[in-house]
Chains A and B, each alone.
Chain A
Amino acid sequence: MLTILFDGIAYGMLLFVLACGLSVTLGLMNFVNLAHGAFAMAGGYITVVLVNRLGVPFFASLPLAFVASALIGAILERTLYVHVYTRSHLDQVLFTIGLVFMAVAAVDYVMGSQQQFVAIPSYLQGQINVLGVGVGRYRLLIIAICGALALTLQLILSRTRFGSRLRAAVDDPRVARGLGINVTGVFSITFAVGSGLAGLGGALGAEILGLDPNFPLKYMIYFLIVVTVGGTSSLTGPFLASLLLGIGDVAGKYYVPRLGAFVIYTIMIVILIWRPHGLFTRGVTR
């Protein structure tokens, strides 16, 4: 029982790191980026190549995965995404689905369609006993890293100058621009960091979520659930939503395996109908 809770929290934390970039993008530019999972996949595959083929230590490969995904994100944002911001949602959806399809096929071509595994160091494998509860070491590490990240992000968002600019831009881009905030610049940085975080999440999650070329499609719905349920106005919302989703999904798969992912989809639809702007919004409708 507690093990399930623990696994669920680890899973949820991972989902948060994967999806928080998307929630900011969606909130800030009202941009539907279905290709967010592709950045996570990029991070995962970069780690696989670094650790398995080049022999880079696992912990050294994590920051590299972050930087590389952020770089890919920044380049794509500057070259392709900028042209699509002002378009209709339909165009954005088509564009990002196109990117996903290309990413899936390209990865399939380069790396093959089989599932990839990251060779995690032996001291991270296995379980340790904490008060009679079996706790996976790797999952403990995920909770530690993702928890620290969530805390850092929250601090950056609430304490720094960049954070207040970002919050202003999310709340009302026009007024923020009028006050002299470089909304486009803020957005570029946020997009890159969000992509980088997704890449880091993909690197960490390769072990738990599984990594194959269909990753962006398989987890797209999960990211969208986190964002819709959590709302886009703060980081706390997506964080709580990720935890709920993680625990719910793990528990659902454990207790009622016959229903499978059905539970999660149903919950999402119900919440969307009940609170179209998310569970944890501040009640501001835009």
Chain B
Amino acid sequence: MSDRPADPLHPMTAPLAARGRWRLPELAFWAVALASVFLLPGRHLILTEIAILALFALSLDLILGYAGIISLGHAAYFGFGAYCAGLLAKHEIITEPVTALVVSTVASAAVGLVTSFLVLRGSDLSRLMVTLGLAMVLREIANKADWLTGGADGLQGVIMAPILGLFAFDITGHVAYVYCLSVLFILFLGARRLVHSPFGLSLRAIKGNALRAWTVGVPVNGRLVAIYTIAAGYAGCAGALLTQTTSFASLDVLSFERSADLLLVLIIGGTGYLYGGLIGAIVFKLMQDWLANLTPQYWQFWVGLVLVFIVLVGRERMAAWTAPVRSVFAWTERRLGFVRDAGAVSRPEGS
């Protein structure tokens, strides 16, 4: 992404471009993701779930890891996108998945834009409650408006047309996985470009100290509204993917547990370096798969235990445990002549 010539008038762009350069671990990560399409054909159903959860976590990372907005109700946008895609397909307004996906994403972003003005007022605490309340309100609407959403029974009869008119969803989930992974990758590229831009840098400044950011001329509220809107769109896109791949949307997509699980996903992976959500989604889903086999009913207990454990140990210390892995990659990068400055390898942030 460093194909732009360094502008001498803006001394900030050169370090930004350096930060935005693709590194070995990132390339390895996506190579593994691509390989999974061919090498793990039997696991594509769970991989699809992972890709969707990863996109959802990426969305939360944008507001939590980069802008420092705590949300307890991010499932609101996920659910909105899910119902949006479901309704579009059910009433045969738009049956082509990609178009429907784009429409759902834009609609969720619009909801995010409208609600951002409510969320961004006040302190952490009132943000927590407003986001929680918004998700509850949406869930209540979806519950009561059963003529539209099917209420507690869920939205049934969603039939998707082939993607772009070419690839029909199959029962083994191969097409769904490739579809979800492609969407994840494209949106990831967007997010990556975003956080390595001056815009992303200003978000970090706001997260560090909103008052100081404001005094050096960052339009704090405008930036927060913008990133919140984008994140809502990402979340809606993840929700729409879920509906499209499962042909079903239920009240579950708006539940509080979904928002809480999402926080755990992001915390497992670490916030503020984009890959946290993706890695967290892989770990979380594999753990869920494994634990749910052991104790299907009491899975929530282990989620709680992991949350308490992570907080008590301290998220900074958790990040430090991955230091050996990162140093191995740094060493390989130096060997391969990837980067000269190995100290600048992006790493998870503690706060």
| Contact across chains for A102 and B305 when beta carbons are under 8 A apart | yes
| Contact across chains for B315 and A265 when beta carbons are under 8 A apart | no
Contact of A265 among B70, B136, B256, B351 (CB under 8 A): B136
- Specify the chain A residue showing the minimal Cβ separation from B302: A105
B301: A residues at CB distance < 8 A? 101-102, 104-106, 109
Known: A88-B351, A221-B133, A262-B140. A98 touches B125 (CB 8 A): no
- Specify the chain A residue showing the minimal Cβ separation from B121: A273
Interface set, chain A 70-115, CB cutoff 8 A to B: 80, 83-84, 87-91, 93-95, 97-106, 108-109
| Contact across chains for B121 and A259 when beta carbons are under 8 A apart | no
| Contact across chains for A100 and B122 when beta carbons are under 8 A apart | no
| Contact across chains for A104 and B315 when beta carbons are under 8 A apart | no
Check: B263 CB closer than 8 A to any chain A CB: yes
| Contact across chains for B310 and A94 when beta carbons are under 8 A apart | yes
Check: A148 CB closer than 8 A to any chain B CB: no
CA gap between A273 and B140 in the complex, in Å:
20
Best-buried of B64, B260, B307, B311 by chain A (most CB within 10 Å): B311
CA gap between A269 and B132 in the complex, in Å:
10
Known: A89-B124, A94-B311. A108 touches B137 (CB 8 A): no
Known: A101-B304, A102-B304. A262 touches B130 (CB 8 A): no
Check: A134 CB closer than 8 A to any chain B CB: no
| Contact across chains for B136 and A101 when beta carbons are under 8 A apart | no
Check: B32 CB closer than 8 A to any chain A CB: no
Check: B264 CB closer than 8 A to any chain A CB: yes
- Specify the chain A residue showing the minimal Cβ separation from B350: A88
A217: B residues at CB distance < 8 A? 256-257
| Contact across chains for B137 and A266 when beta carbons are under 8 A apart | yes
CA gap between A104 and B307 in the complex, in Å:
14
List 28 contacting pairs A-B, 8 Å CB cutoff, sorted by A. A32-B128, A84-B311, A89-B125, A90-B64, A95-B308, A97-B307, A98-B303, A98-B306, A98-B307, A98-B308, A100-B304, A102-B300, A102-B305, A103-B304, A108-B298, A217-B257, A221-B136, A224-B129, A261-B136, A262-B140, A265-B140, A268-B133, A269-B137, A272-B126, A272-B130, A273-B130, A276-B121, A276-B123
A residues in contact (CB < 8 Å) with B: 26, 32, 80, 83-84, 87-91, 93-95, 97-106, 108-109, 217, 221, 224-225, 228, 258-262, 265-266, 268-269, 272-273, 276
B residues in contact (CB < 8 Å) with A: 64, 70, 72, 118, 121-126, 128-130, 132-134, 136-137, 140-141, 143-144, 256-257, 260, 263-264, 267, 297-301, 303-312, 315, 351
